[in-house]
Structure 1
Amino acid sequence: MEFKKVSVIMSVYNEKEEYLKKAIESILTQTYQNFEFIIILDNPLNNNAKNIILNYKKNDKRIIFLENTENLGLAKSLNRGIEIANGEYIARMDSDDISVKNRFEKQVEYLLNMAEVDLLFTWTCLIDENDKYSGKFKPENKFCNNLKKYFFEKHLFAHPTLMTRSEVLKKLKYSSDFRYSQDLDLWFRSINENLNFNILEEPLLKYRTVTESLAYHIFKQKRGSKYTFKVFNKNISKYYNNYYFVKRYIYYLLKVIIFNCVPEKILELLLILKRRLNKIFSN
């Protein structure tokens, strides 16, 4: 196999120290070793994270450390890494997840053998705060053959599993118009460019999900719905005659209306009911 260089890009904000260490170590111990690891600290006040990163950097010259002078958000932070990336491929990583040891080996081999693929994702294992397995996210690759339908119907792509040819991100970058849902915006723009997506049907990343308070969960849902609808609204002129797009557009519009109109206490009660029903039907 040809050992092409991979640029790994990871932004750090306020993640727990133990999660950050596990994320970094999961990259440094990859079976595929030809990479540079660009870490961007997006919180200049987080001295603990800075010290952790610098300690790893002292022992591994593949780490490139960038520190923002102010909180720029994920999109602008990732773009700083993309601008200096020297690899033929660019891989994403989140600072609280864990990459499986052969993730890069598998993804590089796939991209070498499938020259028509531009953006490659993988399945994920879901883990909790204690690294305990809690499920899988495994969309089928066949859905990539008809993205104009399935992209609007299903959640297909786990952002931190992305490995792409560097020219894709060098050209498109992440849009700073979206402080959140910037990955969804990138997928839209990639589809509009007729780029090819594939999913490697193996769980090559452990994706961390943590228990949240009701209030914070509702806040995140409200924020996510707002920015997701913003992305869909940006693309309505291209897809207004696509049934699957319009259906999803209406869904997110209704979510935004509900989150803005329904009192938070009612939303909390509905969330409690939903969790209880999920527990009943999962047993």
Structure 2
Amino acid sequence: MTSLPLVSVIIPCYNAENFVESAVRSIMEQTYSNLEIIVINDCSSDNTGEILKRLAEKDPRIKYIENEQNLKLPKTLNKGIKLSKGEYIARMDADDISFPERLEKQIAFLLSNSEIDLVSTNSQWIDENDDILDYRTTHPKFHCEIQHVLPWKCPLVHPSIIARRSFFIDLEGYKEDILFGEDYELWIRGWLEGKMYHCLPEVLLYYRSHKNQMTGTGFNANNAKSIRSFLYTFLLETKNPKFLFGILLQTKIFHFLITKTYKLRVLLK
């Protein structure tokens, strides 16, 4: 019987004491068991480190890493990739919850589809009390659909992805000077270099929306500026006009119009 490949799950953690145990346990309790779970404490000032150390004592698959200084997300992710040993590398955030069968289903798909480099899933949003919110993603499934929308929106849920190790090695990981949208930039760069994507249509991740998270639904000028910057670079490189639409979407007026349209649709249901 062929042994199952090792999957390295990278979980960067920063001041996540309220949610990190649930997040890590959701990986510990996966139906796919051949894992190394790399948890990296990025200089948290709360009890995140103590919680992670306690979990690491209970499960030998957990490798606890502590940054000497706050490296921010992209550098921490690249550090996790370098420390990992798995043939496959999965992402997980310190405040989300993976469904038990998530990794098993993603690995099964990758083993059966050698042309695909990265697989994501859809997600159901929850709040800080684990209550279900009225939003779940319905991202495009096939690569041909994903590449169609990549220039103007991010169709892959970052904490839900798993990729072949070669994906990260070939692309040399995340751009460390991009502090917001580092995942989106990587997906575009990978697509332009011929990498293939797929999204499993089912929900396999609870994505938590709360006031302390780095990402959110509201408009943030600095975050939007970061995304506009790399989209503009891709526009110049490719001359693909879809990137221009993506740049326009990352402006306050477009965000306002989209938000109002969504709220109107909800009211008219």
- Considering fraction of residues, name the structure with more helix: 1
Residue in 1 aligned with 2:60?
A: 61
Question: For the residues of structure 2 that align with 1:21 and 1:282, how far apart are their CA atoms?
Answer: 39
2:30 paired residue number = 30
1:198 is matched with 198
Is the aligned partner of 1:114 residue 2:113? yes
The equivalent of 2:181 in structure 1 is 181
Q: Secondary structure at the residue paired with 1:235?
A: helix
Give 1:246's aligned residue.
244
Structure 1 residues 222 and 161 mapped into 2: Cα distance closer, same or farther (>3 Å)? Answer: same
Instruction: Tell me the CA shift for residue 153 of structure 1.
Output: 4.2
| Shift, 1:211, TM fit | 5.1
Partner of 1:225, secondary structure, is helix
Measured in 1, the distance between the counterparts of 2:116 and 2:82 equals 22
CA deviation profile, 1:209-267 (whole Å, cap 9, x unmatched): 1258xxx976x621221111011122122232x23222222333x44xx69xxxxxxx9
Change over 3 Å in CA distance of 1:276–1:27 after alignment to 2: closer
Aligned in 2, Cα 1:250/1:274: closer, same or farther, shift over 3 Å? closer
Name the CA shift for 1:6/1:217 in 2 (closer, same or farther; >3 Å): closer
- In structure 2, distance between residues paired with 1:50 and 1:84: 19
Could you tell me how far 1:190 is from its partner in structure 2? Answer: 0.4
- Cα pair distance change 1:280/1:104, threshold 3 Å: closer
Q: CA deviation at 1:55?
A: 0.4
Bigger radius of gyration among the two: 1
Contact 1:123–1:205 under 8 Å retained in 2: yes
Q: Is the partner of 2:207 in helix, strand or coil?
A: strand
Please list, as runs of the form range in 1=range in 2, the aligned pairs for 1:145-160 lying within 5 A after superposition: 145-160=144-159
Shift of 1:133: 1.4
**Mapped contact 2:152–2:249 kept (Cα < 8 A):** no
Q: What's the offset of the Cα at 1:44?
A: 4.8
2 CA distance for matches of 1:31 and 1:6? 12
Indicate the SS of the match to 1:186. Answer: helix
TM-score computed with the length of structure 1 as normaliser? 0.84
8 Å contact 1:120–1:198 — kept in the other structure? Answer: yes
Query: Which amino acid counterpart does residue 61 of structure 1 have in structure 2?
Result: P
RMSD: 2.5
Aligned match of 1:281: 267
CA gap 1:114/1:87 in 2 versus in 1, 3 angstroms: same
For residues 79 and 92 of structure 1, what CA distance do their matches in structure 2 show? 12
1:86 and 1:114, CA in 2 relative to 1: closer, same or farther beyond 3 A? same
In structure 2, what is the equivalent of residue 262 of structure 1?
none
What amino acid is the match of 2:193?
E
The answer to whether the Cα contact below 8 Å between 2:152 and 2:246 also exists between their aligned partners in 1 is: yes
Q: How does 1:1-283 map to 2 (within 5 A)?
A: 2-15=3-16, 17-46=17-46, 48-134=47-133, 135-142=135-142, 144-172=143-171, 173-210=173-210, 221-240=220-239, 242-252=240-250, 254-255=251-252, 274=260, 277-278=263-264, 281=267, 283=269
CA contact 1:44–1:69 (8 Å) conserved in 2: no
Q: Which runs of 5+ in 2 are unaligned?
A: none
Which residue is equivalent to 1:264? none
Deviation at residue 59 of structure 1 after TM alignment? 1.1
Number of residue-to-residue matches in the alignment:
262
Task: Give 2:82's aligned amino acid.
Answer: E
Tell me by how many angstroms 1:274 deviates: 4.0
Normalized against structure 2, the TM-score is what?
Answer: 0.89
Provide closer, same or farther for how the CA distance between residues 275 and 22 of structure 1 changes in structure 2, counting only shifts above 3 A: farther
Cα 1:276–1:123, aligned 2, differ >3 Å: closer, same or farther?
closer
Partner Cα distance (2:18, 2:141) in 1: 33
Q: Which runs of 5+ in 1 are unaligned?
A: 260-266
Segments of 4+ moved more than 6 angstroms: none
Does structure 2 retain, via aligned residues, the 8 Å contact 1:83–1:170? no
CA contact (8 A) 1:75 1:176 kept: yes
Measured at CA, do residues 123 and 94 of structure 1 come closer, stay the same or move farther in structure 2, by a change above 3 Å?
Answer: same
Q: Which moved more, 1:167-176 or 1:63-72?
A: 167-176
